[in-house]
Structure 1
Amino acid sequence: MTSTSLDVERIRKDFPVFSRELPDGRPLVYLDSGNSSQKPNLVIETMREHLALHYSNVGRAMHVLGAESTEAYEGARDKVAGFVGASRDEVVFTKNASEALNLVAYSFGNPVNTDPRFTLGPGDEIVVTEMEHHSNIVPWQLLAQRTGATLKWFGVTDEGRLDLADGVITERTKIVSVAHQSNVLGTVNPVVELARRAHEVGALILLDASQSVPHHPVDVAALDADFVAFTGHKMVGPSGIGVLWARAELLDAMPPFLGGGEMIEAVWMDRSTYAPAPHKFEAGTPPIVEAIGLGAAVDYLTGVGLEAIEAHERELTRYALEALREVPRLRVIGPETLEARGGTVSFTMEGIHPHDVGQILDDQFGVAVRVGHHCARPLHLRFGIPATTRASFYLYNTTGEIDALVRGLHHVQKVFA
């Protein structure tokens, strides 16, 4: 299906979790895909079949199962590369987006890397934003501590947009690392403009695309990025598998992040040489079945069509923003229009802690949302709040589920009246 409308009821039948009932016979209303998405039969059965009939280690075993497993694993790399408009040699499998981000941060200021683009020390600058997930803050804090570089960031406006003030990116900036889409606000950031600013001063730019690749068509070349990180479990794939895309010449310049089997060319007792990218960054037995499951997830999303998914989520977001305005004393944190925003809506309810909101929604209405700071505590501090309730939508959600959320929120208001 590649039209701009989805047959959501048919799609829901592809996901076995929606056939189950919660305790007391309640239907499941799953509005937590920004945390982790549900899995379709295609992914589940592809992984099961590989484990049952084809499993072996990859890149080492000279027998039929080894060849089948290697072909399936490398085939998954081809699928992921095609999904984001990349070359297969630019796609590194990691265990998640956090590892991908740490891999890039490890290359900066590393004394074995003499490429001037990666040299980092006192006086040099690292730029992030105030809306980042902790996975795109902590590695850069650690890098600043190791090297003496300065960590800087773009602030966030009251409307939940980046404050693109001049002077944050300077001639001293070496790396800019920014979320393509906020996991709390839903804001889609102007990454092409940020890439232009970074490249004008000779800096590199990394995009955390964990919240965008599952929901919108993404072409790494069109984004003008140098690195892009994303994860499998948010895009109907399994956990334990992530992706780093990087321009080939940058991967060639970067030192290995982990050492071990299969990332080498040759080893002596006093030195080693390394395999070319991407295998240089895939030490040891990789997440074989998870990568194959991610390939199946790409097949599934491609079959549905990213344009159709994006359009469906846009309609759900429009519907949710309008419906939530009818809930008394509810405040949306982030953009309240559809301009440059995705299907994630976070909010607070006056006088009611998000943990209480989430528990009542789950216990009495079967509505699964996420509560807390969503691994973005600095952003919550910016808004002067400890936590939010977050509803995040995906291709299998319906407006009826948003109605269930709103009914639950009205009930929460009554409980705490």
Structure 2
Amino acid sequence: MLGVPGQVNLDYAATAPCARAAADAVAELLPWYASVHRGAGALSRRCTLAYERARQAVGDFLGTRAGDHVVFTRNTTDALNLLARALPAGTTVVTFGGEHHANLLPWPRGSVRLPVPPDPAGALRALDAALGELRRPDPSGPRSAQQGPPVLVAVTAASNVTGERWPVAELARVARRHGARIAVDAAQLAPHAPVDVAALDVDYLALSGHKLYAPFGAGVLVGRADWLDAAPPYLAGGGATSHVGAATHDVRWATGPARHEAGTPNLLGAVALAAVCTALADADRAALHDAEQALLTRLREGLAALPHVLELRMFGPAAPRVGIVSFVVAGRDSTQVAAELAAAYDIGVRDGLFCAHPLARRLLDEAAARGGRRDLPPTALRASIGLGSTTGHVDRLLAALAALA
């Protein structure tokens, strides 16, 4: 990882540091930088090839199926907004209250937001009941779960607040049983564990390059082609058309990823993201996972040993999770604690509600009740680890919190 010596970065969940593979890929391509899909010269042809190879590499990394589209976007928020624009008329979207704003705000009115469940099994029960109600047959019509407007389930794979993992494959099976599709926000899971669209049997998946060690402004939406090819272009402009005539409405839009990638694409972002995907695909992900889990256990056990520090969680303390922990220091303002950690100890953590306000506020209330505290601040702190994190970083944070608390 690239980084600044002496600084302890424990804010990977917001933006991960740049991987050397991403920086090297960008540096190698920069002398050749030119237009994509728009020129016959050697530079343009090389850049077009690099862009489409990047698309293939990202698709391979995510286990896409034949016929799936890989659409480059700016980030997860952009990708999910694109999908929201592509929904067939009348689609009902079912989400949970534990989502990031990117998976709460883009969906149309009339969407269903289920409460945060007490555990993963509760999520399956709640979704099954909700979809059963939505798919209840009309007594006057054919008794088929496939009847009625489309339904899309939209769920995170790992919480950006607590790091807890959601049972995506099991949720997908519930959705299938009711004839619904499922979209997954993999922004927090993909940097920590393999994600395979085909194995999970999900219809759509979105992620951000800046959380996957490729902070060059690219994200991706992958998934089934039919809704994407039938929808109006996400952006209208050059590159998204196959024909534009003289008349105002004489336009034929492209099919495939180009339909939603109007304008000059983010070549360097796509190439950087693909380089990281390739590097991770070649790495020993199991060993990386074990190392991260050891650091995560050390961090959580250290926080639990500190007086007045309470961890936020949705499920039980043993629920599977990635390297993200949110917590509060009783009697201390979280913004002030974060500022002191930065100023006095060169430690960077996140403070606030983490673009998941409904969930974070609920968890703060639950932490106060669980700990019998009435002096918790209105916002939380979040420490998140990644490939560049070390035991020394975790111990430095714990020692600093002990001094501040």
Q: TM-score, normalised by structure 1?
A: 0.84
2:205 matches 1:205:
no
Aligned length: 373
SS at match of 2:311: strand
SS at match of 1:139: coil
Identity of aligned residues (%): 36
SS at match of 1:352: coil
Q: Which is further off, 242-251 or 160-169?
A: 160-169
**Equivalent of 1:365, from 345, 358, 373?**
345
2:9 matches 1:17:
no
Alpha-carbon shift at residue 33 of structure 1 (Å): 0.5
Q: Which is further off, 372-381 or 40-49?
A: 40-49
2:75 matches 1:83:
no
Alpha-carbon shift at residue 375 of structure 1 (Å): 0.2
Superposition pairs of residues 263-278 of structure 1, within 5 angstroms: 263-268=240-245, 269=247, 270-278=249-257
- Check the 8 A contact 2:124/2:174 in 1, yes or no: no
SS at match of 2:3: helix
The 1-side partners of 2:121 and 2:13 are apart by 17
Report the equivalent of 1:50: 29
2:332 matches 1:352:
yes
- Check the 8 A contact 1:160/1:185 in 2, yes or no: no
Report the equivalent of 1:312: 291
Residues 16 and 175 from structure 1, CA distance in 2 versus in 1: closer, same or farther, beyond 3 angstroms?
A: closer
Residues 73 and 150 from structure 1, CA distance in 2 versus in 1: closer, same or farther, beyond 3 angstroms?
A: closer
Report the equivalent of 1:11: none
Aligned partner of 1:61: which letter?
G
Q: Which is further off, 40-49 or 334-343?
A: 334-343
Aligned partner of 1:60: which letter?
R
Aligned partner of 1:342: which letter?
V
Residues 125 and 16 from structure 1, CA distance in 2 versus in 1: closer, same or farther, beyond 3 angstroms?
A: closer
- Check the 8 A contact 1:101/1:229 in 2, yes or no: yes
Residues 205 and 186 from structure 1, CA distance in 2 versus in 1: closer, same or farther, beyond 3 angstroms?
A: same
Residues 160 and 411 from structure 1, CA distance in 2 versus in 1: closer, same or farther, beyond 3 angstroms?
A: farther
The 1-side partners of 2:333 and 2:79 are apart by 34
Gaps of 5+ in 1: 1-14, 21-26, 109-117
Report the equivalent of 1:247: 224
Aligned partner of 1:278: which letter?
P
Report the equivalent of 2:50: 72
User: 1:354-395 CA deviation, whole Å, 9 max, x = no partner?
Assistant: 111111111111111111001000002222263211011111
Report the equivalent of 1:119: 89
Residues 325 and 100 from structure 1, CA distance in 2 versus in 1: closer, same or farther, beyond 3 angstroms?
A: same
SS at match of 1:16: coil
SS at match of 1:340: coil
Alpha-carbon shift at residue 44 of structure 1 (Å): 1.5
The 2-side partners of 1:210 and 1:128 are apart by 16
- Check the 8 A contact 2:15/2:215 in 1, yes or no: no
Report the equivalent of 1:9: none
User: 1:265-299 CA deviation, whole Å, 9 max, x = no partner?
Assistant: 11222222222211111111111111111112223
SS at match of 1:348: strand
The 2-side partners of 1:316 and 1:306 are apart by 15
Alpha-carbon shift at residue 41 of structure 1 (Å): 2.6
2:150 matches 1:172:
no
SS at match of 2:129: coil
Report the equivalent of 2:118: 157
SS at match of 1:210: coil
SS at match of 1:170: helix
The 2-side partners of 1:338 and 1:221 are apart by 28
Report the equivalent of 1:6: none
SS at match of 2:210: coil
Alpha-carbon shift at residue 158 of structure 1 (Å): 8.6
**Equivalent of 1:234, from 211, 222, 237?**
211
Report the equivalent of 2:359: 379
Gaps of 5+ in 2: 136-150, 366-376
- Check the 8 A contact 2:244/2:250 in 1, yes or no: yes
**Equivalent of 1:398, from 390, 399, 404?**
390
Alpha-carbon shift at residue 162 of structure 1 (Å): 4.6
Alpha-carbon shift at residue 159 of structure 1 (Å): 10
Report the equivalent of 1:97: 76
- Check the 8 A contact 1:154/1:168 in 2, yes or no: no
Report the equivalent of 2:138: none
Q: Which is further off, 333-342 or 30-39?
A: 333-342
SS at match of 2:56: helix
SS at match of 1:169: helix
Alpha-carbon shift at residue 161 of structure 1 (Å): 7.9
Q: TM-score, normalised by structure 2?
A: 0.87
- Check the 8 A contact 1:125/1:152 in 2, yes or no: no
2:302 matches 1:332:
no
Report the equivalent of 1:257: 234
